[in-house]
Amino acid sequence: MASRSWYLFSVLSKRCHFDRGLAQRGRAEKSRRPDTDNGDPDAPGLDSRGCAAVARNDTTLNRYRSSLAAVAALALALTMGCSGDDPTEAGGPGAPAAFKIGFCMTLDHPYWQNMRLGSVDEGRKLGAEVIIMNAKEDPVLQIQQIQELIAKQVDLACVVPMKREPLVAGVRALNEANIPVIIVNREVAEGCDYLCYTGTDTYAGAVTSAEILMDAIGGVGGIVELHQHLGTGPQLARSKGLRDVLAKYPDVTLLGRAPHGGDRGKAIKETQVWLGKFPDLKGIYAHGDNFAIAAADACRQAGRSHVAVVGMGGSQEAIEAIREGRLTGTSFQQPEEEGRSALRLAVRHLNGETLRESYLIPCPPITKENAHQFKGQF
C-alpha cells in the first residue's frame, strides 16, 4: 500500500511540473497573442496519450494549480498514514488511539518480551496506544520511567515492579498525578494505591513445582534451591512456596541455596559444586526453566541423571526437555496472556467499569505424562 501511494505521489509530482511548464509557455504565447479568447470552450485538453496539449489560454494554468493541490493533499495523506507503522500504536493507519497506556516492565528475558507482544497486540485490537518502558530490572530506572509516563500524560499505567519496596514511591507518584495503576506479574509493597493486580499466580505456581519435586523424590532426601534475584516479587513468592511445601515433608531437607543471577553458566557451576558436595542429592528446585535445564544438563554430564530437577515458567524448551525425560517438570506460566489481561483490564476501567482487586492466571503442572498437551509461550 505504501509503495503504491509513493508511486502515485511521484506521478502527480511529475504531472505538476509538466503542467507548470505548459502554463509558462501558455502565458508566453498569450503575451504574443493578445486576442486569445480565455473562455474558448474548445481549448485543447488531453491528447490520445493522456498528455496536456499546449494551451493558448489560462486552462493550463488552472490545471497546474489543480495538480499542485492534488500533490499537497496526497503528501498530507501519506504523512498521516505512516504513523500506523509504529508497533506500539493501535487502531490502524490514521486512526487515533482511544487511550494512551504506559507499560513499565523489563525485557531482559523472552518471558517479558512475550508479555510485551501480548500487550501491544491486545492494545491494537482495543484501540489503545501502548508505550513500553524497559527498566532492565533496575528499580531506580523504573521510577525515572514512571516520571516520563507522567510527563506523557498517559491515561493509565501498567507496572511490573522491579522490587516490592522501592516501587512504592513510583506508584505513589502516579497516584499524585491521578493516573490509575494496574500491577502486573509481581507484587508491590503496601503504602500506595492501585486498581488491581493481574498476572500469574506465582505462589501457586511455585507450590505446584515444589509438589512435582516432592512426588519425584518420594518425599524423602536432600534438595537444593537455585533462586533468582533476591528481593524480587517472584523470588519471594517462589522461596515461600517451597518452604510451605517442605513443612508438609519432614523427611526432606533443604541442603543449600544459591542465586543463578540470570546466568545459565552460573547455574551450571552452582550445580556442579552441589553435586560434588552432596553425593546423595535427590532434587533441585530452580526458579526459572532456563536454569532448571542448565542444572539438569550438569547432572547428566556428571552421570547423575537420577537427580530430579523442576523449573517454573513452561517455556517451549522446557516442555521439550520434559517430553525427552531430561527435566522432571515445571509449572505453566502465560506471559502473553498476562500482557493481554493487563490491557483488557485497563480499557475496561477507562470505559467506566469497576474492577475487582485481583485477576489471577493459573499455573497448571507440566510433567512427562501431560507435556504433549502444552505449547510454550516463550
Mind giving me the DSSP string for 86-152? Answer: -TT--SSTTPPPSEEEEEEE--SSHHHHHHHHHHHHHHHHHTEEEEEEE-TT-HHHHHHHHHHHHHT
How far, in Å, CA of 281 to CA of 223, rounded? 6
Note whether 131 and 346 are within 8 A (CB). no
**Does pLDDT of 58 surpass 90?**
no
pLDDT tens digits along 259-309: 998 899 999 999 999 999 999 999 999 999 999 999 999 999 999 999 999
Positive/negative CA dihedral, 244, 320, 366, 253: negative
User: What distance, in Å, lies between the first and last C-alpha atoms of the chain?
Assistant: 32
The lowest-confidence range among 29-33, 127-131, 228-232 is: 29-33
C-alpha distances out from residue 215 to 2, 46, 70, 258, 270, Å: 58, 86, 74, 23, 24
Q: 161: how many CB neighbours lie within 10 A of its CB?
A: 26
Q: Domain spanning 202-334+367-373 has what CATH number?
A: 3.40.50.2300
Helical (H) or strand (E) element with 270: helix 264-277
C-alpha distances out from residue 46 to 27, 51, 52, 148, Å: 18, 5, 5, 57
Note whether 278 and 299 are within 8 A (CB). no
113 residue type, one letter: Q
Q: Domain spanning 99-199 has what CATH number?
A: 3.40.50.2300
pLDDT tens digits along 131-140: 999 999 999 9
How far, in Å, CA of 236 to CA of 230, rounded? 7
Contacts of 234 (CB under 8 A, 6+ apart): 185, 186, 202, 228, 287
Q: SS3 sequence, 59-100?
A: HHHHHHHHHHHHHHHHHHHHHHHHHHHCCCCCCCCCCCCCEE
Note whether 284 and 309 are within 8 A (CB). yes
Among residues 54, 34, 35, 31, the alpha carbon closest in space to that of 43 is found at 54
What percent of the residues of the chain are helix, what percent strand, and what percent coil, each to the nearest 5? 50, 15, 35
Residue 231 confidence (pLDDT)? 80
For residue 360, the SS3 value is: strand
For the chain, give the percent of residues with pLDDT over 90.
68
Rounded to the nearest integer, the mean pLDDT of the chain is: 81
| DSSP letter string, 197-241 | EEEE-HHHHHHHHHHHHHHHHTT-EEEEEEE-STTSHHHHHHHHH
pLDDT tens digits along 308-317: 999 999 999 9
How far, in Å, CA of 99 to CA of 236, rounded? 34
Q: How does DSSP classify residue 169?
A: H
Residue 222 confidence (pLDDT)? 98
**Residue 222: beta bridge partners?**
253, 281
Contacts of 261 (CB under 8 A, 6+ apart): 229
